[in-house]
């Protein structure tokens, strides 16, 4: 509870307001509200409808609402969107005093208006109606151009055409209307194309905005990858560790578990984390691979082999799991099986973030008697 004294339209005021984590009235955070005397019933409605407003003491004839830690009275030159007060009229008084519009009516109302306009246009002249339809379609395409570009980019990536996907995502970015998820996808492609500095810049722009937690984690995972590709291992882990254990999802578990291994954390501590991740989602390829690699580094080869069998059932695309599976089998004395796995590694690219080089894969292939002649030409 806080007190404020000031002057509003020349009237001396004193009112007490309530801090709230999320305000249902103004849809803002850290919102402050004070209500006028003579509106006690309305205040009771607000208190009952928005549980975070615990108390409202009404001491002034002017309705006031504030969305900031800076206490300043509302004036014509100082009105925030959705929170404006002019004299003793308040938009929330009207909204809360009457019945709320049903969501389905609110959603259908624009459609009904457009249909009515089209019908009127056709009644005036057929060409006018056709022109209006064309204009509406054109406006819809233009207004949603970022989504259209991003969708085409996703389709191109699904086809394996990363260059086209990157071009479409760049177009979406340049519209300045792209959604955070689309910008995260754009940065992911920039990371894959060896441009982590540019990816970092874009992702930091996205993170400067209000985001739902799942989206913030997704964006942060790509930013952590950009950090890692620039050699900033500590920053990559610290960025993701800020979410754990308050927030948990498969992407966070998989990425953070892998980066902990690469950073060289205590293997037993990392194992506990990766076992927790496995309990959370035992079907995710990254989590399975992390746990298998963790077991290998601990020398628990039988457990590593069992876990790698689960990894192989997912048909991983990168060379890394095949390499470590081959190492595991070699140390278990199963060289024929190890040779089969290293040959698969030779025909695949390394993971985007990898501790390996193609030279290490070729060396192991040589030890196991596998032929490197047909390996993928990439480092």
> Over pLDDT 70: what percentage of the chain?
71
pLDDT at residue 209 tops 90: yes
pLDDT at 110: 83
How many residues are there in the chain? 379
pLDDT digits (tens, 9 = 90+) for 15-63: 333 333 333 333 333 333 333 333 333 333 333 343 333 333 333 333 3
Q: Which residues pair with 11 in a beta bridge?
A: 8
pLDDT at 373: 59
Q: Which residues pair with 65 in a beta bridge?
A: 33
Q: For helices 335-346 and 358-368, what crossing angle results, to 10°? A: 150
Domains of the chain plus CATH, in order, are: 2-97 (no CATH), 103-143 (no CATH), 147-247 (1.25.40.10)
pLDDT digits (tens, 9 = 90+) for 253-302: 999 999 999 999 999 999 999 999 999 999 999 999 999 999 999 999 99
pLDDT digits (tens, 9 = 90+) for 91-149: 333 344 455 678 887 778 888 888 999 999 889 999 998 999 999 899 888 889 999 99
pLDDT at residue 5 tops 70: no
The answer to whether the pTM exceeds 0.75 is no
Give 59's contacts (C-beta < 8 A, 6+ positions apart): 13, 14, 15, 16, 34, 37
Ordered DSSP codes for 205-242: HHHTS---HHHHHHHHHHHHHHHHHTT-HHHHHHHHHT
pLDDT at 372: 65
């Amino acid at each position: 509870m806080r007190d404020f004294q000031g002057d509003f339209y020349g009237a001396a005021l004193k009112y007490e307001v309530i801090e709230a984590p999320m305000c249902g009235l103004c849809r803002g955070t850290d919102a402050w509200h004070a209500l006028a005397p003579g509106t006690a019933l309305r205040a009771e409605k607000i208190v009952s409808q928005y549980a975070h407003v615990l108390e409202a003491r009404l001491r002034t004839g002017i309705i006031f609402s504030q969305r900031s830690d800076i206490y300043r009275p509302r004036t014509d030159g100082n009105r925030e969107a959705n929170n404006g007060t002019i004299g003793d009229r308040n938009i929330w008084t009207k909204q809360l005093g009457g019945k709320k519009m049903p969501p389905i009516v609110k959603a259908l109302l624009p459609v009904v208006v457009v249909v009515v306009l089209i019908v009127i246009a056709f009644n005036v002249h057929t060409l006018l109606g056709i022109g209006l339809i064309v204009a509406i379609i054109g406006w819809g395409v233009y207004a949603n151009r970022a989504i259209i570009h991003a969708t085409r980019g996703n389709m191109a990536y699904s086809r394996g055409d990363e260059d086209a996907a990157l071009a479409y995502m760049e177009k979406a970015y340049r519209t300045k209307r792209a959604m955070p998820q689309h910008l995260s996808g754009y940065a992911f492609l920039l990371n894959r194309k060896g441009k982590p500095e540019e990816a970092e810049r874009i992702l930091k722009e996205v993170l400067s905005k209000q985001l739902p937690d799942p989206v913030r984690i997704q964006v942060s995972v790509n930013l952590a990858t950009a950090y890692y590709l620039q050699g900033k291992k500590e920053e990559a882990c610290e960025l993701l560790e800020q979410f754990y254990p308050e927030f948990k999802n498969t992407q966070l578990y998989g990425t953070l578990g892998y980066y902990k291994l690469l950073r060289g954390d205590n293997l037993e501590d990392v194992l506990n984390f990766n076992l927790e991740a496995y309990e959370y989602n035992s079907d995710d390829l990254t989590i399975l691979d992390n746990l298998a690699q963790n077991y290998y580094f601990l020398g628990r080869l039988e457990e590593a082999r069992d876990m790698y069998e689960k990894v192989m059932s997912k048909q991983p695309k990168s060379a890394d799991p095949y390499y470590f599976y081959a190492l595991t089998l070699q140390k278990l004395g199963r060289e024929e099986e190890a040779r089969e796995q290293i040959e698969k590694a030779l025909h695949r690219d390394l993971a985007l973030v990898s501790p390996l080089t193609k030279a290490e894969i070729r060396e192991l292939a040589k030890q196991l008697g596998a032929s490197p002649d047909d390996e993928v030409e990439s480092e």
